[in-house]
Chain A
């Protein structure tokens, strides 16, 4: 590529009235601003859902605790799960994809900027609808309540008979509306990757980040659509006399499970592929080596995408599917462990022989590798159907998927925050606070989620607002709850660090990490048009070529 791809200097429009600036943010169709909107929106919901988690854990700190009523507890875990999946992790990942994808492939924006804005606002309104249930679910006269059907809302608990009032309706509508947003984003990402790459960037020269988000977007289209359909069917059941899931009128509860998990399992990969994307960018830069086995990584990603569509019923080993179906889903579930394992090995090999620099982003990625390994192995345990008959729906599975989502995805996300914050803000974060965040969160994570496996092995089911003494669960639950406060402290340090650094941090140039992908060739933060002239690339690491003209890739 050529040096004149570097952007023109900013035009200094900072000092306009706040109303004007707010108006610009609301009406923006710029992928970077939308990306930041997604991220901030997700962080707000992270705080809300985090508080819900704290309530849950205080209630469970000892047997027969009465910190909250069973009704409130049931709403808390429903809202915690729904919020974290649909209004924290998905939006924050969409935010990063939005912000980074055009920059990484040398484009000026996403393929459909207006669809992009529409998608964000749909997602945003979905979250608001869900939380409006707090005042709206009983009508305006009631004290309000929130959905209490669990985040996978099994039928027939969601039917009019068992769920009076409107709380379930808000749950349905919130997810339905944000689902349209997700599908919009996905179409946009797929189109952008296919159509907007800069000259010279063949599919085989795209950063892995783009590949992983591309497959993720494909999965969103395939997985969110059935969920959306199911939500509409459920609304038909509730208000138009349908009987899809209404067991009292001959409907099928099991059909809801299939609908939900045909969404729910690919959803795990929707969330984890972008995490892989972060790790695949950060690990090479901080090991000073290119990603090991690029084409195998791409192959493994695509394989995961396909196989992930055929494993959903491993969430249903206990519903009585019969031996043959169970056996099939054991096989497909185990099969997906292979490409996932290959990825872990390739990241390890990328570090192997490198010069590893333990900056905060890399710390989070190394912890990711360790935790994702454990999560994968407990996943294999859960995938062996007979073992699953014990572990499924126990605290073991709760520990397992938090290991995936917190230990894997959230750690990778924190890495991404630290890695790209200089690009997004033009300021460097505080490294000491970053490390403090890492250690607080690391300790808190392991206190909470390592020990959470044990009550599961000792027979503690999930979603119980209290438990009997004498089951051997007490001490473990106490430790689990203590860990939560370390995590909360870590999150506060994280937010404090970024707020402080945004205003007071040291300015950085365009390329603080000496990195190799295109986003580091433009200003920090990048101008609206990203690149003054569209870059042209010859290899997977255009900036490496630029920095090492004698030894290009």
Chain B
């Protein structure tokens, strides 16, 4: 929390200590109020934004108190009295000294705010990342997220896994942001501010989460019908767990013999035009990669828990979970549906 220290001691904002303390209480481990609380930062970028936001809140809060007091005072003090004599008050047209004072003071405040802001922008946007940075490509789709780990041969969807970063030896993750269709925005408030995913306009951002756990967020740029259910889930794991996860995701699909009926259904319906199951005939790229579907906690970008029932419901009629999603209902017979779900459940 470099910045908070600096503002706390360097500039000496002790008067605003109460504001800061109450806001800092948000940063507790239990994540008070919300798992997506912007005042509970858990990585460097989010923390320096947090520090800046305390400073800005303190300054604007002070301005508010001063001007509001003046307003309240004049409304109370200068109201027309009951026994008013009907004469006009002294006609005052202005005063240059006063005008200069209330021009110069705001200018100074603006300069201070600007300098603090410019620093944080540079700290975040011009940061040089270490050589051991993990790279992930995030591709926004209507209405789900594709994640690719270049050089590691891993492709997954909707649930991003990254290693925890030890502040003394940081292992940040650089996320390259692309879009397959419309604009989206990647916003996991506890990890970083949002950055948009825009077609033909590659962006990137970096995170270095310092505690393991699940971090939530969601698409923050309107992208069409199901913008609301384009949820983000970031799993921050210990380095070992992360490496193990990568290993497991690299395996081709593992198919049990007794699911071959379902596999046949999968491969003879349009499923394979849109979905990939590595090592099989399915290599579509329009929808999420299903190779390790069962390793995920949720389906449909967090819209439903990944349970056999919701899987069946999803395949029968995606609109019942996410109306307007781009996966069509495939009109399968009950028998095919059961076999297909059984097959999907083997994709660990």
Identify the A interface with B (CB < 8 A). 69-71, 74, 148, 150, 154, 156-157, 162, 247-248, 250-254, 287-290, 292-296, 318-320, 322-323, 326-327, 330-331, 334-335, 337-338, 341-342, 344-346, 348-349, 351-358, 366, 369-370, 373-374, 377-378, 380-381, 384-394, 457-468, 470-473, 548, 551, 553
Contact = CB atoms under 8 A, between A and B. Distances in A.
A394 B219 CA distance: 11
Contacts of B67: 344-345, 348, 373
28 contacts: A156-B183, A157-B182, A247-B199, A253-B201, A288-B88, A292-B94, A318-B193, A319-B196, A326-B125, A330-B121, A331-B114, A334-B113, A337-B106, A348-B67, A355-B79, A355-B80, A369-B71, A378-B60, A381-B60, A384-B113, A384-B116, A386-B120, A391-B38, A393-B185, A459-B35, A459-B218, A461-B187, A464-B218
A387 B25 CA distance: 19
A250 B200 contact: yes
Contacts of B64: 373-374, 377
Contacts of A394: 220
A313 to B, nearest CB: 13
Contacts of B204: 320
A321 to B, nearest CB: 10
Interface of B: 33-39, 48-49, 52-53, 56-57, 59-60, 63-64, 67-68, 70-71, 74-75, 78-81, 84, 88-95, 98-99, 102-103, 106-107, 110, 113-114, 116-118, 120-122, 124-126, 142, 177, 181-183, 185, 187, 189, 192-196, 198-201, 203-204, 216-229, 231, 302, 323-324
Question: Which of B88, B114, B199, B222 gathers the greatest number of chain A CB atoms within 10 Å?
Answer: B222
A345 B181 CA distance: 48
Contacts of B226: 70
Contacts of B126: 323
B33 to A, nearest CB: 5
Given A330-B114, A390-B193, A457 B185 contact: no
A548 B94 CA distance: 20
Contact of B89 (A355, A381, A385): A355
A129 to B, nearest CB: 23
Nearest to B51: A386
Contacts of A247: 198-200
A392 B187 CA distance: 11
A70 B94 contact: no
Question: Which of B35, B92, B124, B324 gathers the greatest number of chain A CB atoms within 10 Å?
Answer: B92
Contacts of B228: 70, 463-467
Given A154-B221, A319-B201, 11 more contacts: A69-B323, A154-B222, A251-B200, A289-B91, A295-B94, A296-B94, A327-B122, A355-B81, A380-B59, A459-B217, A460-B36
B64 to A, nearest CB: 6
Contacts of B324: 70-71
A348 B48 CA distance: 36
Contacts of A287: 78, 89
Given A253-B201, A348-B71, A323 B33 contact: no
Nearest to A328: B118
Question: Which of A248, A322, A330 gathers the greatest number of chain B CB atoms within 10 Å?
Answer: A330
A471 B40 CA distance: 13
A393 B221 contact: yes
Contacts, number: 276
A338 B221 contact: no
A381 B57 contact: yes
A515 to B, nearest CB: 13
B121 A370 contact: no
Given A294-B93, A468-B231, A338 B193 contact: no
Given A323-B121, A327-B118, A348-B74, A470 B35 contact: yes
A318 B74 contact: no
B79 A358 contact: yes
B74 A156 contact: no
A384 B56 contact: yes
Contacts of B196: 318-320
Given A330-B117, A345-B102, A252 B200 contact: yes
A353 B89 contact: yes
Contacts of A148: 225
Contacts of A251: 200
A358 B37 CA distance: 41
Nearest to A292: B94
A551 B89 CA distance: 13
Given A334-B114, A386-B193, A471-B35, A253 B99 contact: no
A351 to B, nearest CB: 5
Nearest to B120: A386
Contacts of B182: 154, 156-157, 162
Across chains A and B, which 10 residue pairs bring their CB atoms closest together, nearest first?
A389-B193, A459-B36, A472-B34, A464-B228, A320-B203, A247-B199, A458-B34, A323-B125, A293-B94, A461-B220
Contact of A318 (B84, B92, B195, B222): B195
Contacts of B227: 74, 463-465
Contacts of A322: 125
Given A369-B71, A464-B227, A472-B33, A296 B120 contact: no
B198 A357 contact: no
Nearest to A459: B36
B187 A459 contact: yes
A69 B118 CA distance: 43
Contacts of B93: 290, 292-294
B78 A459 contact: no
Given A326-B121, A349-B98, A318 B194 contact: yes
Nearest to B221: A393
Contacts of A252: 200-201
Nearest to B55: A384
Contacts of B88: 288, 355, 548
B183 A253 contact: yes
A319 B59 CA distance: 27
Given A289-B91, A369-B71, A342 B37 contact: no
A61 to B, nearest CB: 15
Contact of A162 (B34, B49, B181, B189): B181
B137 to A, nearest CB: 15
Given A150-B222, A254-B198, A466-B228, A330 B118 contact: yes
Contacts of B225: 70-71, 74, 148
